[in-house]
């Protein structure tokens, strides 16, 4: 009997360097089919941004065409949540007499529970083959001498890079065209909120992602260390949306980087190494998610921080969300997020610190809002970043380290080029006053159509320090 292999696509929307797809295609006689199951109700529970859903849909359409070019059909189905998706997949495998199911692992708690349920239901029906595809090294493979997950990034990175040099991280080729009939399925619009997506800023498809990777590694990565914190220049790769939904793999990133900059691992001061360091941070947060599942359940890594008495000021939260805090660098960053679905990494740290440490609003509110807007929304990275800013996570900024939003703006957007791009109401404010626009307006006897600062930073800092010190004392 001819074997029937099913490849279950999730956040791995590519045919090149896809470990599950590659394994499923190793038997040239097997019939290979692909499935994708959309779960809009589950996405709502996870606060998925409408832009990210649109980006997934665009890339799914590209995937259908790429697979059809290899004579591999993709069957699309939409249901409510993970429980329904597991049931549908089991029925699909039984009806189609599937001999083997292939998928790439996901590491979030709900996703792992779904996969465990599918494995249990199909254990006696077909073979189950799962792969660590979304990471350079699998969770649990980089641990301390006592076998525990690292709690500090730098020793994790050192151990990670040492292990990486002895690991097989080659990028796998796309499968060969198969000798089987193939009909292209229609990918209907998701039953999900719609929001505009800039197809010039974020073009869909593997080739677009690979081209962006090539250009960055060839032309820009050398300057990454100097330019990555300057939001007014294109100093970052902007590859995170492609990594988040799996249009690009971390192995492709690593191998392209090493092809263009072969001395990366030996030159710790180079732009290439600094960018590699960001890829390792991505790994660190995902490894943590598996080692500490509570992070998937809105729990802080540092338990005593749960005793902080947060502010419930809804007007302050709304002003922050809308980019109307009266702090130009914060507002420009939030308007970039709201308009594009993406935010520069330095700005993510600044706005997160402002929400938690200046407004004393629960970091979970910021984490949730980011997920609702980000095209590159990723639970591990988003949670890790927010807990870092809130001083509640592993290797986080200590609670007494509080960004001054004004000095951050002066340092990273000195002339206000980025600020003016997103705050046109400040177009007339000169460079020297762009970070203190109301002081300038008062001197000029002018009225700005721009809000006054929500809080006084110096006073807010004192109140936040007291709130954290009280929480630490209450926790004992």
377 is in an annotated binding site: yes
Task: Note whether 383 and 288 are within 8 A (CB).
Answer: no
- How far apart, in whole angstroms, are the C-alpha atoms of residue 426 and residue 392? 35
Reading the block at residue 361, the tokens are: 């609003």
Q: Which domains does the chain have, with CATH numbers?
A: 4-134 (3.40.50.620), 136-170+205-291 (1.25.40.80), 303-475 (1.10.579.10)
Task: Note whether 409 and 375 are within 8 A (CB).
Answer: no
Q: Is 137 left (phi over 0), alpha (psi -120 to 50) or beta?
A: beta
3-state secondary structure of 18: coil
Question: What is the structure's pLDDT at 475?
Answer: 87
Question: What is the structure's pLDDT at 476?
Answer: 76
Q: Which H or E element spans position 162? A: helix 153-164
224 is in an annotated binding site: yes
282 is in an annotated binding site: yes
DSSP letters spanning 81-108: SHHHHHHHHHHHHHHTT-SEEEEE---S
Nearest to 175 by CA among 53, 1, 54, 33: 33
Q: How many other C-beta atoms are found inside a 10 Å radius of the C-beta of residue 430?
A: 11
3-state secondary structure of 205: coil
For the chain, helix, strand, coil in percent to 5 are 50, 5, 40
Reading the block at residue 269, the tokens are: 């001061």
Question: What is the structure's pLDDT at 21?
Answer: 98
450 is in an annotated binding site: no
Q: 95-108 burial, b for 16+ CB within 10 Å, e for fewer?
A: eeebbbbbbbbbbb
- How far apart, in whole angstroms, are the C-alpha atoms of residue 243 and residue 438? 41
Question: What is the structure's pLDDT at 397?
Answer: 82
Question: What is the structure's pLDDT at 396?
Answer: 83
279 is in an annotated binding site: yes
* Span 300-316, pLDDT tens digits: 999 999 999 999 999 99
- How far apart, in whole angstroms, are the C-alpha atoms of residue 39 and residue 85? 7
Q: In angstroms, what is the C-alpha Rg of the chain?
A: 24
179 is in an annotated binding site: no
Task: Note whether 298 and 364 are within 8 A (CB).
Answer: yes
Angle formed by the axes of helices 328-340 and 405-412, to 10°?
Answer: 70
Residue 66 — φ and ψ, nearest 5°? Answer: -65, -40
275 is in an annotated binding site: yes
Question: 26 exposed, middle or buried (CB, 10 Å; 0-12, 13-18, 19+)?
Answer: exposed
Angle formed by the axes of helices 363-373 and 345-353, to 10°?
Answer: 150
Reading the block at residue 468, the tokens are: 């954290």
Task: Note whether 400 and 465 are within 8 A (CB).
Answer: yes
Indicate if the alpha-carbon torsion angle 45, 50, 55, 60 is positive or negative.
Answer: positive
Q: Is 141 left (phi over 0), alpha (psi -120 to 50) or beta?
A: alpha
Give catalytic residue positions. 278, 281, 310, 345, 363, 386
- How far apart, in whole angstroms, are the C-alpha atoms of residue 463 and residue 30? 65
3-state secondary structure of 153: helix
- How far apart, in whole angstroms, are the C-alpha atoms of residue 46 and residue 34? 25
- How far apart, in whole angstroms, are the C-alpha atoms of residue 346 and residue 325? 18
Long-range contacts of 380-385 (CB under 8 A, 24+ apart): 380/107, 380/108, 380/282, 380/285, 380/286, 380/288, 380/289, 380/295, 381/240, 381/281, 381/282, 381/285, 383/285, 383/289, 383/295, 383/296, 384/281, 384/284, 384/285, 384/288, 385/348, 385/349, 385/352
**SS (HEC) of 392-440:** CCCCCCCCCCCCCHHHHHHHHCCCCHHHHHHCHHHCCCCHHHCCCHHHH
Quote the pTM value: 0.96
239 is in an annotated binding site: yes
306 is in an annotated binding site: no
- How far apart, in whole angstroms, are the C-alpha atoms of residue 400 and residue 59? 43
pLDDT < 70 positions in the chain: none
171 is in an annotated binding site: no
Q: 200-229 burial, b for 16+ CB within 10 Å, e for fewer?
A: eebbbbbebbbebbeebbeebbbebbebbb
- Strands across the sheet with 127-131, in order? 74-78, 31-38, 4-9, 100-104, 127-131
Question: What is the structure's pLDDT at 15?
Answer: 98
Largest CA distance in the chain: 86
């Amino acid at each position: 009997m001819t074997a029937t292999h099913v490849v279950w696509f999730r956040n791995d929307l590519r045919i090149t360097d896809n470990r599950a797809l590659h394994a499923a295609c190793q038997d040239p006689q097997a019939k290979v089919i692909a499935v994708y199951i959309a779960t809009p109700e589950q996405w709502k529970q996870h606060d998925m941004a409408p832009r990210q859903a649109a980006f997934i849909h665009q890339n799914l359409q590209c995937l259908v065409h790429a697979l059809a070019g290899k004579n591999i059909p993709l069957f699309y189905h939409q249901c409510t949540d993970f429980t329904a998706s597991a049931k549908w997949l089991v029925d699909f495998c039984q009806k189609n007499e599937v001999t083997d199911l292939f998928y790439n692992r996901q590491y979030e708690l709900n996703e792992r529970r779904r996969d465990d349920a599918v494995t249990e239901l199909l254990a006696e029906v077909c073979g189950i083959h799962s792969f660590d595809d979304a990471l350079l090294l699998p969770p649990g493979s980089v641990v301390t001498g006592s076998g525990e997950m690292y709690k500090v990034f730098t020793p994790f990175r050192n151990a990670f890079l040492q292990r990486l040099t002895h690991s097989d991280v080659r990028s796998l080729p796309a499968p060969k065209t198969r000798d089987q009939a193939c009909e292209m399925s229609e990918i209907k619009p998701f039953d999900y909120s719609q929001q505009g997506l800039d197809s010039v800023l974020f073009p869909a498809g593997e080739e677009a992602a690979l081209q962006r990777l090539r250009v960055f590694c060839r032309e820009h990565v050398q300057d990454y260390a100097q330019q990555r914190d300057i939001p007014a220049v294109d100093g970052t790769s902007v590859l995170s949306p492609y990594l988040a939904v799996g249009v690009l793999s971390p192995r492709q990133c690593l191998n392209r980087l090493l092809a263009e900059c072969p001395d990366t691992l030996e030159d710790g001061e180079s732009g290439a190494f600094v960018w590699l360091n960001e890829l390792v941070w991505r790994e660190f947060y995902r490894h943590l998610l598996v080692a500490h599942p509570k992070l998937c359940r809105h729990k802080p890594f540092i338990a005593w921080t749960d005793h902080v008495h947060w502010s419930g000021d809804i007007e302050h939260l709304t002003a922050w969300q809308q980019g109307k805090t009266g702090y130009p660098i914060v507002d420009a960053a939030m308007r970039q997020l709201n308009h594009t679905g993406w935010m520069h990494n330095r700005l993510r740290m600044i706005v997160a610190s402002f929400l938690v440490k200046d407004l004393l609003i629960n970091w979970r509110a910021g984490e949730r809002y980011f997920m609702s807007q980000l095209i590159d929304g990723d639970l591990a990275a988003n949670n890790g970043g927010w807990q870092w800013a809130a001083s509640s996570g592993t290797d986080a900024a200590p609670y007494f380290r509080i960004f001054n939003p004004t000095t951050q703006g002066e340092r990273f957007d000195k002339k206000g080029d980025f600020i003016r791009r997103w705050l046109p109401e400040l177009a007339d404010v000169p460079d020297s006053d762009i970070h203190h626009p109301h002081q300038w307006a008062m001197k000029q006897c002018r009225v700005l159509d721009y809000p006054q600062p929500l809080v006084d930073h110096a006073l807010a800092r004192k109140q936040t320090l007291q709130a954290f010190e009280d929480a630490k004392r209450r926790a004992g």
